[in-house]
Amino acid sequence: MPPNKLNILEQVDAQITQVFDPHIVADVNDAQVKVAKFGPQFDWHSHPSEDEAFFVLRGRVAIDFRDGTVELGQGEFLCVLRSMEHRPRALTPEPVVIMVEPAGTLNTGDADSALTVANPKYLQAEG
């Protein structure tokens, strides 16, 4: 039997009610594909041992760095290399972003805060 497909945008709208609440879409080898709605401001943080990739599915986001900002729109991609301090934020209401990172990577990296999600839920296929 072939694997089930997943309409990420439909399921994000149905299952994710909070911004910066990452859900796992899939485990791929030693990495995880996660999805989240972004809000107006996140914590400054870095991932000392992990690279982190961002792909915008809907809306616009900014990834702030201490020396500048990169804005991303729908269909745009950015890889943040390990140890680069950054802060993601929404530029439009609740944009949807896919993140790819090693399994177990905390969303707040080396910053422990109220936004830390230690055990993200899995995004569920419909039915």
> For residue range 53-107, what is the model confidence (pLDDT) as tens digits?
999 999 999 999 999 999 999 999 999 999 999 999 999 999 999 999 999 999 9
Nearest to 33 by CA among 42, 22, 43: 22
What pLDDT does 127 receive?
56
- Domain ranges in the chain? 8-102
pLDDT digits (tens, 9 = 90+) for 56-70: 999 999 999 999 999
**Confidence band, pLDDT 50/70/90 cuts, at residue 8:** very high
The answer to whether the CB of 40 falls within 8 A of the CB of 87 is: no
Nearest to 34 by CA among 46, 19, 23: 23
CATH class for domain 8-102?
mainly beta
pTM score, whole prediction: 0.95
With vertex at residue 125, the alpha carbon angle to CA 4 and CA 107, rounded to the nearest 5 degrees, is 115
